[in-house]
Structure 1
Amino acid sequence: MEIDVLPDVCASYSPGVSPAFSVDTVQFGDGYQQRRPTGLNSVRETWNVSFNNLSQDDYELVYGFLKSRQGVHAFLWQPPWEYAAKRWVCTDLTSTRPSNFQVASIQATFVEDFGL
């Protein structure tokens, strides 16, 4: 099955990334601990991405794309300074539509997806 790619609308500068580490820990009685990564994909990234100053066309393209995935269906997106796209799921989506100026903004949370 082919996976869709996030529309080519430039995200605003300085998106924030937070890696989450999945670690199995064993605690021994003398205070000693052993730790190991849980599984093959033990580091999952979460990106907070903003799209600011969007025209109505770009807003409808990006917002419609992300909303249609319903927080379930993955898509491809290439984070800044990375050389290849990865799979993501949008888990949080908010937007501001224009009131005085004819520009809109979108804030989204992308969580790395390790599905097939």
Structure 2
Amino acid sequence: MQFGDGYEQRRNDGLNPILQSWTLGFQRSKPDIQQIDDFLTDKAGITSFSWLDLDDKPVRVKCAKWSVVEVDRNIARLMAVFEQVFEP
């Protein structure tokens, strides 16, 4: 809640108030990038999946934002944002 003069009131919301996100980049052959793109398209930003974070800890994530750019004739780059989710 915002108040005057820049003051605000903050509070935690829920059991897991700190959600992590990771911006990842993959530069691979076009067929490899196509496989990643197909996987993310299949999940549609809704279905979560397991991923090992930078400390090799398993995390449930979803990916609603990604883009593919052609680097050259044989190579492409995929940028994606993985967002942590908590599910029962």
**Alignment TM class, shorter chain as reference:** 0.7 to 0.9
3-state DSSP of counterpart to 1:38: coil
Residues 1:38 and 2:51 are matched in the alignment = no
Give the CA deviation at 1:83: 3.6
* Letter paired with 2:20: E
State the alpha-carbon separation in 2 of the partners of residues 67 and 103 from structure 1: 20
Q: Alignment partner for residue 86 of structure 1, among 55, 59, 83?
A: 59
Q: Which structure ranks higher in relative contact order (CA pairs < 8 Å, sequence separation ≥ 6)?
A: 2
Residues 1:72 and 2:46 are matched in the alignment = yes
| Corresponding residue number in structure 2 for 1:47 | 22
Give the CA deviation at 1:88: 0.4
**Residue segments in structure 2 that go unaligned for 5+ positions in a row:** none
Q: How does 1:4-15 map to 2 (within 5 A)?
A: none
Identical columns (%): 25
State the alpha-carbon separation in 2 of the partners of residues 45 and 91 from structure 1: 14
Residues 1:95 and 2:48 are matched in the alignment = no
User: How many residues are paired up?
Assistant: 83
TM-score, normalised by the number of residues in structure 1 = 0.62
**Residue segments in structure 1 that go unaligned for 5+ positions in a row:** 1-24
* Letter paired with 1:70: A
Deviating above 6 A after TM superposition, structure 1's stretches of 4 or more consecutive aligned residues are none
1:19-61 CA distances to partner (integer Å, 9 max, x unpaired)? xxxxxx8x9xxx9x7x653221010011111101x11231122
TM-score, normalised by the number of residues in structure 2 = 0.79
* Letter paired with 2:19: R
| Corresponding residue number in structure 1 for 2:76 | 104
